[in-house]
Amino acid sequence: MTPVNPVSPVTKTARQAQITAILARTAVRSQDELSQLLAQNGVEVTQATLSRDLDELGAVRLRGPDGALVYALPGEPGGPGSRPGGLAGALAGSTEPRRGRPGVPAGVRGGLGPLAGRGGSGPASGAGQGAASGPDREPPSRLARIAADFLLSAEPSANLVVLRTPAGAAQLVASAIDHAAWPTILGTVAGDDTVLVITREPAGGQDVARALLRIAERRA
């Protein structure tokens, strides 16, 4: 069985993020070497897929200090781990809004409290989504699509889950989680490339993290 990184979904987005991280810290001389480093992180990839990933990331081979050719990525807007072009390129053609909800400060989200899934008003009530979703139910299509495209990792700690996304995508991911109306989630706080998810149960982070990874992989 192929090993799986316990915090990263098996998606193209997460795989390319791992390639970016490896090339940023390691002098990689060949695709075979890169493939082996990915395998150490639980990511198995074919030569054709790896070549396509490197091409999409804009990777080039430059001569290192020792004279050997190594892979390097171009300067990327948005900071470490972001794709070339940042979120703007990833969202090309997308119809997803990027505005916050009225009355909620930018980057701070909530509303998955006691009214979630109980017929309350607002997005958190599950209006337009059908019955309230949860870790063991079919996720709303919007969350599945966004998680597959932008979720890089989900790491739990007690009742918290730290999500990593490409630069600029955190608020989009947080909004999708809010609208999914999981009764087990109290709310989310989004930055630029990080989302903090707060769960109701003292140890609820583990289940929510696993559910989000499953959702991302199912859609990929």
123-145 pLDDT, tens digit each: 333 333 333 455 555 556 889 99
Domain check: are 195 and 127 in the same one?
yes
Share of the chain above pLDDT 70, in %: 66
Domain check: are 109 and 207 in the same one?
yes
Strand arrangement, sheet containing 194-199: 108-109, 185-190, 194-199, 160-164, 153-157
Instruction: Look at residue 78 and tell me whether its pLDDT is greater than 50.
Output: no
- CB-based contacts of 183: which residues, under 8 Å, 6+ apart? 112, 116, 117, 132, 134, 200
Domain check: are 113 and 162 in the same one?
yes
- Decide if 1 is inside a domain: no
Asked which of 25, 53, 85 is the last residue of a domain, the reply is: 85
Instruction: Look at residue 174 and tell me whether its pLDDT is greater than 80.
Output: yes
Distance from C-alpha of 128 to C-alpha of 131, rounded to nearest angstrom: 9
Domain check: are 173 and 110 in the same one?
yes
Cα 61 to Cα 15, 28, 81: the distances in Å are 20, 9, 19
Supply the mean pLDDT for the chain.
75
pTM of the shown model:
0.59
Asked which of 50, 85, 120 is the last residue of a domain, the reply is: 85
Share of the chain above pLDDT 90, in %: 46
- Decide if 93 is inside a domain: no
pLDDT score of 189? 96
Domain check: are 208 and 141 in the same one?
yes
Task: Look up the CATH number of the domain holding residue 31.
Answer: 1.10.10.10
Domain check: are 134 and 211 in the same one?
yes
- Decide if 183 is inside a domain: yes
Asked which of 37, 52, 85 is the last residue of a domain, the reply is: 85
- Decide if 27 is inside a domain: yes
- Decide if 110 is inside a domain: yes
Domain check: are 64 and 136 in the same one?
no
pLDDT score of 133? 54
Name the residue with higher pLDDT: 132 or 157.
157
Domain check: are 68 and 18 in the same one?
yes
Domain check: are 109 and 181 in the same one?
yes
Domain check: are 188 and 109 in the same one?
yes
Within 10 angstroms of residue 120's Cβ, the number of other Cβ atoms is 15
Instruction: Look at residue 88 and tell me whether its pLDDT is greater than 80.
Output: no
pLDDT score of 63? 87
pLDDT score of 89? 43
- Decide if 185 is inside a domain: yes
pLDDT score of 87? 43
- Decide if 7 is inside a domain: no
Instruction: Look at residue 157 and tell me whether its pLDDT is greater than 90.
Output: yes
- Decide if 109 is inside a domain: yes
Strands 60-63 and 185-190 come out as: unpaired
Task: Look up the CATH number of the domain holding residue 115.
Answer: 3.30.1360.40
Cα 100 to Cα 48, 171, 191, 200, 216: the distances in Å are 40, 8, 13, 23, 23
Q: How many domains in the chain?
A: 2
Domain that includes residue 139, residue range = 102-219
pLDDT score of 181? 87
Residue 177 pLDDT level (bands cut at 50, 70, 90): very high
What is the arithmetic mean of pLDDT over 5-28? Answer: 85
